Amino acid sequence: MTEKMMDYMTLADNKEIVLNAVQQALKLKVRNLHDFELGGEISASLKKMEKEISAYWKESVESAKTSYDTQRNLRDADLSPVQEARKQIDQLCGEWKTEEDRNTRAEQERLERQAKEKADQQRQKLLKKAQEEQDEKKKEKLLEKAELVVEKPVFAAKTIEKTTTLAGGGIRSWISDINVEVVDAKAVCKAVADGNIPITCVEFKNLKAWAKLNNFKADMFGLKITEISRPSTRI
C-alpha cells in the first residue's frame, strides 16, 4: 500500500478532519490578499486530498470498470443483432404503413369529393324542379328538400388498424410521428431571429471553444464574453 493510500485511509478514518477542510473552504470569503493566499493553501490541500482519494480507489474502480466493460460487451454482442433486426423490420413495416396511410387518405378524399358531387347533383336537380314547378306549395317543398340535401358520410377501408393484438401475445400500436432534418442552417437561424422558431429549439455548442480559438474577448454577435481567472494547482 502506497504512502498516499495510507494518508487517505488515515484521513478517511478521521471524518472530522475531512469535514473541517471542506467547511473551511466553503466558508472562506476572499476580501483581501491574506484571504486570497489562504484560499490558495486550502485549494492545494483539497487538491492533495483529491489525488489521495483517487489513488486509493483507482485499482478497485478500474477493476470494476473492466468487469463492467467485459459484461457490457458480452451483452451487446448478444443484443445488437436482435436490436438491428427489430429496427430493420420496424422500419420496413413503418414505411409500408406510411404509404398505406397515404393511399387511405387519398381514397378518403376521393370518396368525399364523390359524395359532395352526388349531393350537389341531387340538390341542383331539386332546385331545377322547383324552378319549373308552377304550384307554390310544391315548389316550397322542393326548395326545402334541396336545403336538406347533405353529403352522406363515407369512410375509406383501412388496411390495418392503429392497434392490433399479436398472435404471439401482446399489443402492437402505431404512433403518428415526424422526422425533422436541418437542410438549410442559415434559413433556420433566420427563422429563429424572426421569431418564427422558438429560441428554446436551438442548442448552442462549442461557442466557448470557438471564441477562445479566435481570441475574442469583447462582446459580439449577441455573446457576452467575460475574461476570468481560473486556478491550476500542482501537487
Spans of the chain below 50 pLDDT: 1-2, 4-6
SS3 100: helix
Q: How many C-beta atoms lie closer than 10 Å to residue 186's C-beta? A: 7
Give the residue among 94, 215, 108, 186 at the shortest CA–CA distance from 151.
Answer: 108
Give this prediction's pTM: 0.58
What pLDDT sits at residue 68? 95
Give the cell for residue 106: 387519398
Sketch the domain layout of the chain as residue ranges: 3-213
* pLDDT at site 2: 46
CA–CA dist 58, 74 (Å, integer) = 24
CA distance 156 to 154: 7
pLDDT in tens, 163-191: 888 888 888 888 887 788 888 989 988 99
CB 5 within 8 A of CB 54: no
C-beta of residue 36 within 8 angstroms of C-beta of residue 30: yes
User: What is the predicted pLDDT for the residue at 9?
Assistant: 53
C-alpha cell read off for 23 = 467547511
Sequence-separated contacts (24+) of 61-67 with Cβ below 8 Å: none
Return the SS3 of 172.
strand
Strands (DSSP E) along the chain, which ranges?
163-165, 171-173
Per-residue CA distances from 71 to 65, 79, 232 (Å)? 10, 12, 38
**Can you give the pLDDT at residue 12?**
53
